[in-house]
A = this chain, B = another copy of it.
């Protein structure tokens, strides 16, 4: 992304070696923002949770599970997650082609956290919807006259 060399980010964030490298979300050019966007993207979240819950999936199975995603977006999402080392892609040179996606150990860790967030929302939807109704629209410009 915006990063040219590892050492540059390392300098900015104070780290030195790769395994000690730490990101800073508040810095606009930090690659951690890109990673965060990949895992929290509209379809990234759902793909990660689906892979965590169901284990290895092939492309079409994942597409069915994550209802509503287009092939383009699923492909794009998985490519991003693969590039970040969260999912492993395996191609079987058969006809018709078969491709399987699996979480890496790294992916397993993020997916767990993403799933925690997703489940919290599912479980608390009632509370959220209640809050929504109490805050119907928004003051129509300015509350003080």
Residues on A lying within 8 angstroms of B by beta carbon are 6, 9, 15, 17-28, 31-32, 35-37, 39-42, 45-46, 49-50, 65-68, 79, 82-85, 91, 93, 104, 106, 109-110, 113-114, 116-118, 120-132, 134-135, 138-139, 143-144
Given A40-B45, A66-B26, A143-B91 in contact, is the A106-B121 Cβ separation under 8 Å?
no
List the 6 shortest-distance A-B pairs measured between CB atoms, nearest first.
A85-B131, A93-B144, A21-B126, A40-B40, A28-B68, A23-B125
Q: Which residues of B contact A134 (CB under 8 A)?
A: 85
Complexed CA–CA distance, A45 and B33 (Å)? 10
Q: Are B22 and A123 in contact (CB under 8 A)?
A: yes
Partner of A23, one of B18, B65, B122: B122
